[in-house]
Amino acid sequence: MARTKVRPPGHCTRCTRACWKDADDSARWNIEFSQGRPVGYLYPKCQTPEENAEAEVKAATLDYANTVPDVDGRQKVAPVGG
Ligand SMILES: [Zn+2]
């Protein structure tokens, strides 16, 4: 019988620490986007203060829970309330 492995969503792009959505600190990970697609993850301790501040601003102004697909089917993050 085949086993199903639950793959974590990714690893930190700097220290390769595994990232999974139920981790205690998952809300503090940064997801790096390129053209609307997630391309990497940053463990909180690997973020620079500037990166952390940028993430806080984006978390307050972008609605990550409601992404919308563009014409190419890529998920785009919409502004909060937009
Ligand atoms: Zn790291």
- Is 3 part of any domain? no
User: Considering the domain boundaries, does residue 40 fall inside one?
Assistant: yes
Tokens of 23: 């981790």
Q: What's the domain count of the chain?
A: 1
Give me ligand 1 centre to Cα 16, in Å. Answer: 6
Nearest-Å Rg of the Cα atoms of the chain is 14
Ligand 1 center to residue 76 CA distance, Å?
25
User: What sections of the chain are H helices per DSSP?
Assistant: 49-61
Q: Say whether pLDDT at 77 is over 60.
A: yes
Q: Tell whether 1 is covered by a domain.
A: no
In a domain, 2, yes or no: no
Q: Is residue 50 part of a domain?
A: yes
CA of 70 to the centre of ligand 1 (A): 30
How are beta strands 37-42 and 30-34 bridged, if at all?
antiparallel
Residue 4 within any structural domain of the chain: no
Global pTM reads 0.63
pLDDT confidence of residue 24: 81
- Residue 46's closest CA among 21, 19, 20, 71? 19
**Domain range enclosing 24:** 10-79
Asked if the structure places residue 20 within a domain, the reply is: yes
Task: Supply the pLDDT for residue 9.
Answer: 60
DSSP state of 3: P
pLDDT at 82 over 70: no
- Condensed to tens digits (0 to 9), the pLDDT of residues 50-69 reads 999 988 898 888 887 788 88
- In one-letter notation, the amino acid at residue 80 is V
Quick check: is 14 in a domain?
yes
